[in-house]
Amino acid sequence: EDQVTQSPEALRLQEGESSSLNCSYTVSGLRGLFWYRQDPGKGPEFLFTLYSAGEEKEKERLKATLTKKESFLHITAPKPEDSATYLCAVQAVFQGAQKLVFGQGTRLTINP
């Protein structure tokens, strides 16, 4: 069964304090690993897709990396506006369609 576990559940940082969020996964045949950002009361906003081990992608203060068992979302010198819940998901294909299997998310708070 496809499974995604994110840690920590919640993380509180000071502005400028870099850190990493973890996403561990088990999936039969990885098609893609996705990171989304979700603000309170809103839908998930797409950030990155990673397809193979060793791949990295960057966007502003965020950098996502992928190994065969986990992905990290590194946040460098974060600002208060980076506060959000970050969701990790693996893509699975079934019955000719696709779906995302999500972790529970990491709730990130950046204090000024």
Partner 1 sequence: ETGVTQTPRHLVMGMTNKKSLKCEQHLGHNAMYWYKQSAKKPLELMFVYSLEERVENNSVPSRFSPECPNSSHLFLHLHTLQPEDSALYLCASSQAPTPDSGNTIYFGEGSWLTVV
| Binding-site ranges for partner 1 (CB under 8 A) | 4, 31-32, 34, 36, 41-46, 49, 51, 87, 89, 91, 93-105
Q: Which is nearer to partner 1, 7 or 98 (CB)?
A: 98
**Are the beta carbons of 87 and 39 closer than 8 angstroms?**
no
Q: Which is nearer to partner 1, 3 or 18 (CB)?
A: 3
CB-based contact 1:9 (threshold 8 Å): no
- Closer Cβ to partner 1, 3 or 20, answer by number: 3
The minimum distance between CB 108 and partner 1, in angstroms, equals 17
- Distance between CA 98 and CA 76 in Å, rounded? 32
Report d(CA 21, CA 87) in Å as an integer.
Answer: 10
Which helix (H) or strand (E) segment holds residue 7: the answer is strand 3-7
Closest separation in Å from C-beta 14 to partner 1: 26
* Distance in Å, CB of 94 to partner 1, minimum: 7
